[in-house]
A = this chain, B = another copy of it.
Amino acid sequence: MATIADVAREAGVSISTVSYALSGKRSITEDTRVRVLAAAARLGYAPKAAARALAARRSQIIAVTTPLHPDTDHSAHMAFAMAVTTAARDHDYDTLLLVQDDALEGMRRSAATSLADGIVVLDVAAHDERADLARSLGCPVVFIGLPADTGGLTCVDLDFRAAAHEAVDTLHAAGHRTVGLVSQPADVIAREANYPLRIEQAFAERADELGLTHALVRPDLDAPHAVLDDLLRLLPEVTAIVLSTPTSVAVALTESLSRRGLRVPDDLSVVTVGMTADPSRPPLPFDSLPLDPALTCPVAVDTLVGLIEGATSPGGVTLVPPTHVSRGSVAPAPVPHPTEVV
């Protein structure tokens, strides 16, 4: 309840001296600085957020908009929201949560009322109505994920293309010559952000470049166990799998493999690409190039803070390079071509 005036009186200095002593925005004699800090501590002073925001024209709040449709993966999106929040705190910002119906309207509202200084957009769909809104908002906005049209938007995403390439390279280096991709369900590809397509293309491209035999299967969420059959039908000689699919399909695939008596990595090597782990469950036992919130979110928040503070100019897509997590699911191909093993 103490105000800056109380602190000034207590420390025997002026109000502005207190303000500057606390913000460090101009140099203060060590002596008076200590006196101010002591007075503030004695009175339990904390600047009122609203007064500060009004005077400084900055709320130190970032809005996070994430529609969270019934079919989006809640645990993954919680991980993203957490990562954004943690990154924001590192820059002294708090995060406001805008969900469901309010994901769109809340963006408008928090921009119009200056509730938030900037907005992070999560759960981005290919044709996301928040993209057009962002272009017309006059408030810094950063997308985590890419809508179909990124024109005029500032976006950050994992470099899925590089991740897919690296997955194929890894398998190729281990001597695999026939590789399969377990991709997303067809309807997800239509609706979601375009990263599944980017992965499919990059996978095929690099496999062709390396002269590998390859194929892809898109699972059916109602019959996830069929993917393995489908893949073996398409690619009887397959020795390695790239997984970029919903967790439920990955789990089903694991079961299908063990039912068939196929061991990872002895019979089949596996690498996942662009999958987000549920922090509250044990991770899938596969080598991964994950879509890790800890990778993209800090970059997105840094970018947003740069925009807010005028240090950066808007627009542009930042693709974050993937990191490789080893879990021992890649082994040399069962029947390697001796001269080609790296």
Whether the pair A112, B46 counts as a contact (CB closer than 8 A) is: yes
* Residues on A facing B (Cβ under 8 Å): 44, 46-54, 59, 61, 64, 68, 70-75, 77-79, 81-82, 85-86, 89, 94-100, 102, 106, 109-110, 112-115, 248, 278-281
Chain B residue nearest to A56 in the complex (CB): B50
B49 close to A51 (CB less than 8 A): no
A77, B81: Cα distance in complex, Å: 12
Cβ contacts under 8 Å, A70 to chain B = 279-280
Please judge, given known A-B contacts A68-B82, A97-B64, A97-B81, whether A49 and B115 are in contact too, CB under 8 Å. Answer: yes
Would B54 and A59 count as touching, CB distance under 8 A? no
Q: Among A75, A77, A102, A110, which residue has the most Cβ atoms of chain B within 10 A?
A: A75
The residue in chain B whose Cβ has the minimal distance to the Cβ of A102 is B89
Q: Rank and list the top 8 A-B pairs by shortest CB-CB distance, nearest first.
A: A50-B53, A46-B112, A74-B75, A78-B78, A75-B75, A50-B54, A49-B115, A74-B78
Taking a contact as CB atoms under 8 Å apart, the answer to whether A99 and B82 are in contact is yes
Q: Is the CB of A73 within 8 A of B112?
A: no
Give every chain B residue within 8 A of A74 (Cβ-Cβ). Answer: 74-75, 78-79, 278-280
A75 / chain B contacts, CB cutoff of 8 Å: 73-75, 78, 278, 280
**Contact present for B48 and A54 (CB under 8 Å):** yes
Q: In the complex, what residues of B have CB within 8 A of residue A109's CB?
A: 46
- Min distance, Cβ A18 to any Cβ of chain B, angstroms: 15
Q: What is the CA–CA distance of A54 and B179 in the complex, to the nearest angstrom?
A: 62
Say whether B96 contacts A96, CB under 8 Å: yes
Please, which residue of chain B has its CB at the minimum distance from the CB of A1? B138
Write out the residue numbers on chain B whose beta carbons fall within 8 Å of the beta carbon of A279: 70, 74
Known contacts A44-B112, A86-B102, then 15 further A-B pairs from the complex at CB < 8 Å, ordered by chain A residue: A46-B112, A48-B113, A49-B113, A52-B113, A54-B54, A68-B82, A74-B75, A74-B278, A78-B81, A82-B99, A89-B102, A94-B96, A94-B98, A94-B115, A96-B96
Provide the bound-state CA to CA distance between A78 and B99, in Å. Answer: 11
Cα–Cα, bound, A95→B102 (Å) = 12
